[in-house]
């Protein structure tokens, strides 16, 4: 059964207006899995950093009580439930320490500490906050966005569960024919959910210049696949060669153009994605960077996003002792 969901409901899952609008435009979804697949693509590939920051700002700080007047009441209720385990028995001194670290974190990064709180203790979240405080701002932005997606997926699962319960309560059948029709519909949905339509090629990338704290534009990117009877291994080429799949360059947001065709199932194998860092930063320490990864048969329907954090130190400024 296809799920129709309004923009306000998507904003309960994720506080970004752009995300909510794109989810509405992409609806209906035949299954939770299909919706999550689309949500990940929108969140990591389509919306910009401003949308990320809007979603972050919708949350209360970890350890704080949400303000019902400032956000959706369902958002408030779910935020409280997600943090309830961690702070049910937390002492006032522990809350004070967390509040102090929240202030330090926001002062450094410009946004509040985001973590998927469900099932975590106060001590675990405080430890994660202290560890992530050491990150560079552009790295921490990616980490926070990943945590936001975890929260979004948990809330989407609850949203779909609530909607399914409402539907089941309002469509009770008494005849055998109706019961068979409903069961058959569920079976069809299960079969259709396995054939999720992609909106992006299965392999994508983007490059961030951590020395400047900005996306790296104009980096040439080359994708290859290994062709041979045996796969390459560390220190050995193996019995085969690398074959080109596609070449592109990063845009102003640091994202590359399509590196391959929009195919539903990615051919299993070993892939290599290479970045022409010397062209981006002439004289840099690493003239190019290659990342090799393997896609198995069970992963051929998945999406692989391969980011590169670039610190283009020149040899003269990065000299060992």
Active-site amino acid positions? 59
96: nearest Cα among 119, 117, 126: 126
The H or E element spanning position 280 is: helix 277-280
CA nearest to 259, candidates 269, 270, 274: 274
> Partners of 222 in the beta sheet?
247, 274
- Which is nearest to 203 in space by CA: 247, 233, 243, 234? 247
Does an H or E element contain 272, and which? strand 269-275
Query: With contact defined as beta carbons under 8 Å apart, do 1 and 181 qualify?
Result: no
Write out the two tokens for 17: 């207006």
Give the single-character DSSP code of 287.
S
Distance CA 59, CA 111 (A): 10
Report the distance separating Cα 135 and Cα 223, nearest Å: 29
Query: Is the four-CA dihedral 113, 116, 117, 123 of positive or negative sign?
Result: negative
Phi-psi region of 10 (alpha: psi -120 to 50; beta: other; left: phi over 0): alpha
Q: How far apart, in whole angstroms, are the C-alpha atoms of residue 172 and residue 178?
A: 9
d(CA 312, CA 267): 33
């Amino acid at each position: 059964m296809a799920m129709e969901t309004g923009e306000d409901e998507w904003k309960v899952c994720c506080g970004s207006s752009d995300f909510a609008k794109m989810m509405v435009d992409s609806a209906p979804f035949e299954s939770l899995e299909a919706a999550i697949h689309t949500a990940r693509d929108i969140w990591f590939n389509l919306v910009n950093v401003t949308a990320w920051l809007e979603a972050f700002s919708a949350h209360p700080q970890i350890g704080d009580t949400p303000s019902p007047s400032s956000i959706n009441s369902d958002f408030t209720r779910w935020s409280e439930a997600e943090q309830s385990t961690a702070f049910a028995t937390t002492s006032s001194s522990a809350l004070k320490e967390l509040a102090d670290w929240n202030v330090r974190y926001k002062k450094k990064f410009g946004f509040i500490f985001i973590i998927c709180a469900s099932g975590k203790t106060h001590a675990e979240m405080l430890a994660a906050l202290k560890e992530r405080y050491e990150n560079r701002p552009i790295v921490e932005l990616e980490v926070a966005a990943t945590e936001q997606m975890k929260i979004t997926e948990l809330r989407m699962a609850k949203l779909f569960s609530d909607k399914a319960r409402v539907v089941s309560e309002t469509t009770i059948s008494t005849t055998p024919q109706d019961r068979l029709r409903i069961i058959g519909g569920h079976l069809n949905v299960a079969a259709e959910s396995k054939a999720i339509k992609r909106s992006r090629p299965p392999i994508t990338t983007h490059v961030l210049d951590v020395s400047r704290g900005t996306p790296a534009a104009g980096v040439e990117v080359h994708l290859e696949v290994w062709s041979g009877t045996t796969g390459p291994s560390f220190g050995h080429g193996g019995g085969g060669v690398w074959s080109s799949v596609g070449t592109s360059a990063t845009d102003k947001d640091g994202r590359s153009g399509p590196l391959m065709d929009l195919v539903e199932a990615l051919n299993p194998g070993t892939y290599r994605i290479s970045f022409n860092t010397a062209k981006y930063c002439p004289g840099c320490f690493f003239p190019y960077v290659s990342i090799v990864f393997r896609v198995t048969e069970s992963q051929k329907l998945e999406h692989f996003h391969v980011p590169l954090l670039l610190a283009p130190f020149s040899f003269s400024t990065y000299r060992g002792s």
